[in-house]
Amino acid sequence: MKTWTVARHVLFRIGQDPRTLILIVLTPLLFVLLYGYSFSSGRPTHLKVAVVNEDNGLASVRTAELGRITLTLSLGAKLVQSLDRELFDVVLHDKPNRIEDEVKAGKYWAGLVLPKSFSHALANEALRERGPQKTTYQGRSVELLPPETVEGPLATLYLDDSNPVVTSSVALSLYEALTRLVAEQQATPTLKDPLDVHALYGGQVSALDYTAPGVIGFAMTLITIMLTVISIVRERASGTLTRTLVAPVRPWEVSLGYTLAFALVSLLQLGELFLVSHLLFHIRFAGSPLLVLLIVFVYAIGLQGIATLLSTIARNEFQAMQFILVLLIPSIMISGVFWPIDAMPTNIRLLAWCSPLTYANSALREVMLRGRGISGVALELGVLAGFALLMLLLGVRSMRRQGYSA
Amino acid sequence: MSETEEVVRARGVKKSFKNRVALSGLDLSVRQGQLYGLVGPNGAGKTTLIRILCGLLRPDAGEAVVLGWRVPNFRIRSQIGYMPQEVALYPDLTVMQNLAFFAELYDLPREQLKERAEELLALVELSDRRGQRVGTLSGGMQRRASLAASLLHKPRLLFLDEPSVGVDPRLRHSLWEHFLKLAAQDVALVVTTHLMEEAARCHVVGFLNQGRLFAEGSPEQLLRKTGAASLEEAFTRLEEESKVRT
């Protein structure tokens, strides 16, 4: 039995390579830490929500003894106060007519507008649910009577439903807050449609639609980087890169040649990914395919740069593969592909904004899900272009260091 | 040959990798039409020197001037040829496809490529293998294809790093015949080898060890100077002498 000999030899060789050793120990740690931190609350947190509280706080209620009386309840303020502060970052807003546009623009996940008559409507709704109720009013015992007419929705909610996780969390939490408020009015909490919900995308965005742009972006990242790194490492090991760099070719020409080739390959892959996901899984595609191509092309150029850099650091294909894993797998966890970045802890969020996949994912999502035009993704495209340029320069520099320098 | 143009001039070239000294203040002069043999054991610094002269590495100190330009320099590239120790061809492409790619890098016109390639394939005796993938050729054939790729653009100065490793004796003989023919056409060749019978065919031989050129001259001069019967013996004697001196 030479099994042990072979096994010992393999372990010994791993032990000889400190880089591999570090990777073996650190990689799982990195994955589990990032995963844990990003998803730890089990639900999103810190979602930015705008609330317009126009409630005048007054409720006009029928009584058996005194006819109509006016109670000061300030239920709007109570509701705002009772909102889940872990889930929501509540921003008090005072322009109800601008809320919808700002939610559309992605400034808030949701906008809640409590009308002037919010307290009135809620109190009467509670009475209708519960039936007549005794209370004291100005020192007298009175019986409050249910309203004769049924009130409409209590409030209006503008909801960015491009992210199913967020949608359900927001809606559920608001519903709970309202229910609690009604319950405090001694009524059975069985509200029917208390909110007039304006879902921006008509509830058409599924979890698959939401994650598709990111997953497609990630698949591209992985394939492109692997292809590039491995072919450059192989060229270097076989000597063909040396032969090329001795010829009258500038390092940037070699670097750009690689970039161009693999960026074109990326576009082909992208077309394939989109075609299959669209035809087979009916992925939502609201925006311009050309804009998507542009985003991916710019992103792919940046990836080439990273790949060229990685190929300089990696001594062989094995190391290259490890770098790829360490760099890329965490990026899919933190880039908002599955979990909204808004819902991540601050330190992870900072990390997320350093990952180019975050911008690619965000831009693809804006175009595919929300149908945004180029101005809607200008920031993301700008960052991706800057990243591409920087990486291209670094890539050329490292290509120069692979051989010739002058 | 003293009035011919000096194509390589190195002065005090030093190069280290981390803690290992590869070249420690090396001087070298190669003239047009010269077949210069760099002779030394493995790790003597031969490949490092060639890589510096080709512009692939930058010396830490000293200077190297190749074809009139201080290297690294882009201008010399179309006039130098380099055959690395590795095969340095794409194994998944045919011999002809490899030649076509490198020819394009050297701006060889398409019409000329076929003619030039055929000429070179005949020289390295691979005419019947032009359509075969390089990866499926034998080791010796791969080396020959590699040499053909280095000669495509008719360089004025040719660096050959261990060109005859893995090449059978008969072909080795014909390669060296060709090297001498190139030299007769005023091409300068710098050839590294650790085989003394190859060194004996060079116009000038430089003995290299531990990053230093410790002796230089024609094979006859070296033999005469040391009174040795073979270059091997001359190498050993001169190396010992230089150790004593330092």
- Whether the Cβ atoms of residue B7 and residue B185 lie closer than 8 Å to each other: no
| Selection from A238, A226, A222, A252 nearest residue A357 by Cα | A222
> In 3D, which of A377, A391, A385 has the Cα closest to residue A106?
A377
A107 pLDDT exceeds 90? no
**Token digits of residue B89:** 């061809």
**Range list of H helices, A188-239:** 207-238
- Report chain B's C-alpha Rg in angstroms: 18
d(CA A323, CA A304): 15
- How sure is the predictor about A190, in pLDDT bands with cuts at 50, 70 and 90? low
Comparing C-alpha atoms, which of B14, B27, B53 is closest to residue B161?
A: B53
Chain A: give the shortest CA distance to residue B103, in Å: 10
Q: Measured between alpha carbons, how far is residue A310 from residues A14, A329, A398 in Å?
A: 21, 15, 9
Coil/strand/helix, residue A155: strand
pLDDT of A16 above 60: yes
Which tens digit of pLDDT belongs to each residue from B171-195? 888 889 889 999 999 999 999 988 8
Q: What is the mean pLDDT of residues A156-164?
A: 85
pLDDT exceeds cutoff 90 at A139: no
Spatial contact of A198 and A108, defined as CB atoms under 8 Å apart: no
- Residue A360 phi/psi, 5-degree rounding, is -60, -45
Q: Is B56 on the interface with A (CB under 8 A)?
A: yes
Tokens 């001498």, residue located: B180
CB atoms within 10 A of CB A6: 10
Query: Which residue shows structure tokens 């082909």?
Result: A268
Q: From A400, which residue of chain B is nearest by alpha-carbon distance?
A: B56
Candidates B56, B87, B106; nearest CB to A245: B56
Phi, psi of A241 (to 5 degrees): -65, -40
Torsion of CA B83, B88, B90, B93, to 10 degrees: 30
CB neighbours of A250 closer than 8 A, spacing ≥ 6? B74
Cα–Cα distance, B172 to B176 (Å, whole number) = 6
Structure tokens at A110: 């949701």
Tokens of A345: 């802890």
Q: Which of residues 186-245 of B touch A (CB under 8 A)?
A: none
Is the CB of residue B73 less than 8 Å away from at least one CB of chain A?
Answer: yes
d(CA A90, CA A49): 5
B105 interfaces chain A, CB cutoff of 8 Å: yes
For A404, which of B55, B85, B88 is closest by C-beta distance? B55
Using alpha carbons, list the distances in angstroms from residue A5 to A18, A21, A273, A394, B110: 21, 20, 45, 44, 56
Residues 6+ apart with CB under 8 A from B19: none
Residue A391 has pLDDT above 50, yes or no: yes
Say which residue, A345 or B240, is predicted with more confidence: B240
In chain A, the percentage of residues whose pLDDT exceeds 90 is 14
Give the span between the Cα atoms of A4 and A12, in whole angstroms: 12
Decide: B67 and B76 in contact? Cβ < 8 Å: yes
Rounded average pLDDT over A384-394:
93
Place of tokens 């639609």: A209
A371 vs B133 pLDDT, higher one = B133
Determine the distance in angstroms separating the CA of B211 from the nearest CA of chain A, rounded to an integer.
21
Task: With cut-offs at 50, 70 and 90, classify the pLDDT of residue A299.
Answer: very high
Domain ranges in chain A are 47-199, 206-402
* Gap between the Cα atoms of B165 and B151, Å rounded: 18
Using an 8 Å Cβ cutoff, are A180 and A260 in contact? Answer: no
Least-confidence region, from A13-17, A158-162, A250-254, B7-11: A13-17
What the block records as the tokens of B92 is: 């998944």
Contact A404 B72 (CB under 8 A): yes
Residue of B nearest to A243 (CA): B88
Q: How far apart are CA A303 and CA A98, in angstroms?
A: 39
- What are the sequence ranges of the domains in chain B? 6-245
Confidence class of residue B1 from pLDDT cuts 50, 70 and 90? very low
CATH topology for A47-199? abc type-2 transporter like fold (3.40.1710)
Q: Per the omega criterion (within 30 degrees of 0), is the bond before B219 cis?
A: no
Q: How far is CA A336 from CA A103, A299, A352, A353, in A?
A: 19, 16, 8, 10
For domain B6-245, give the fold.
Rossmann fold (3.40.50)
Please give the average per-residue pLDDT across A63-82, as a whole number: 88
CB contact under 8 A, B106 and A248: yes
Work out the mean pLDDT of chain A and round it to a whole number.
Answer: 83
Residue with tokens 């709970």: A176
Q: Which residue has the tokens 């090329």?
A: A244
